[in-house]
């Protein structure tokens, strides 16, 4: 039995459907691919970055959120162990990590959106401890703890600290300090203040570094995205938004130790 041949209207309908499908496929192929949200990664390091009641917040978090909102940049934000967050931003397009200290060694590795803020870091001890270095050179005889992949790891090792204990997260390092398993650890000024308000017995022993903390983005980040975020950060610093965030968290850029200890 032979198939009936399409004639008349049936033939025209078939040709129209074929043309419509082809046009639709061609039109879809011409649409630009939707940009993936920027992946913003950070660690748990209060009061700069932390999670509370399911929300990521903090001094740096609120500022980065304000920057991306002003720039019109879509993003997803996650808290991860520092070494993982840093590694993803270093090696994976579309990823940024904060708050990242901008050092000469890191300068060529990332695209920088800065300054989020500046701060001082100290080598801190457990309050009441007999660990009492006279200066940074004297501190080298003590066991110092920090986090794997943190910029302080490199500074300690390059600076001649031969006794360095590494953990994956800052909370683990703090626990070791309070338990007497390490003598000292690097800590930002604002974190020292925050822990002291929570009655955690830590105190500065000696000045460690002064730093500019930044948003560090993968080198393949779109130039227009970087330009928008840099312009927005500059705007938010100028119009007082950054200062308002600092005030909300009672954060003051600067140091805790008297000049004689620096």
Give pLDDT tens digits along the chain (262 positions).
444 444 455 455 455 445 544 544 454 445 444 568 999 999 999 999 999 999 999 999 999 999 999 999 999 999 999 999 999 999 999 999 999 999 999 999 999 999 999 989 999 999 999 999 999 999 999 999 999 999 999 999 999 999 999 999 999 999 999 999 999 999 999 899 999 999 999 999 999 998 899 999 999 999 999 999 999 999 999 999 999 999 999 887 766 754 323 2
φ/ψ region of 32 (left if φ > 0, alpha if ψ in -120 to 50, else beta) reads beta
* pLDDT score at 262: 26
How far is Cα 218 from Cα 92, in angstroms, rounded to an integer? 7
What structural domains does the chain harbor? 38-118+212-253 (3.40.190.10), 120-210 (3.40.190.10)
Burial grade of 83 (CB within 10 A; 0-12, 13-18, 19 or more): middle
């Amino acid at each position: 039995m032979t198939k009936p041949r399409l004639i008349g209207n049936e033939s025209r309908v078939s040709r129209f459907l074929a043309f419509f499908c082809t046009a639709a496929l061609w039109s879809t192929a011409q649409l630009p691919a939707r940009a993936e949200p920027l992946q913003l990664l950070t660690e748990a390091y209060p009061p700069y970055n932390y999670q509370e009641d399911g929300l990521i917040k903090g001094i740096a978090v609120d500022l980065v959120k304000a920057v991306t909102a002003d720039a019109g940049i879509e993003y997803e934000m996650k808290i991860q162990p520092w070494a993982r967050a840093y590694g993803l931003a270093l090696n994976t397009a579309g990823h940024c990590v904060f708050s990242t200290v901008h050092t000469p060694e890191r300068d060529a590795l990332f695209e920088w959106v800065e300054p989020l803020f500046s701060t001082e870091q100290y080598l801190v001890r457990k309050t009441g401890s007999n660990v009492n270095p006279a200066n940074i050179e004297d501190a080298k005889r003590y066991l110092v703890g920090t986090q794997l992949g943190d910029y302080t790891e490199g500074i300690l090792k390059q600076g001649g600290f031969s006794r360095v204990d590494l953990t994956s997260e800052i909370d683990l390092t703090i626990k070791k300090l309070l338990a007497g398993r390490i003598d000292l650890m690097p800590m930002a000024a604002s974190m020292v203040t925050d822990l002291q308000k929570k009655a955690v017995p830590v105190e500065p022993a000696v000045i460690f570094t002064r730093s500019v903390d930044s948003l560090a983005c993968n080198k393949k980040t779109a130039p227009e995205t970087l330009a928008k975020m840099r312009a927005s950060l500059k705007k938010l610093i100028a119009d007082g938004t950054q200062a308002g965030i600092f005030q909300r968290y009672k954060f003051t850029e600067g140091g805790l130790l008297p000049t004689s200890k620096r």
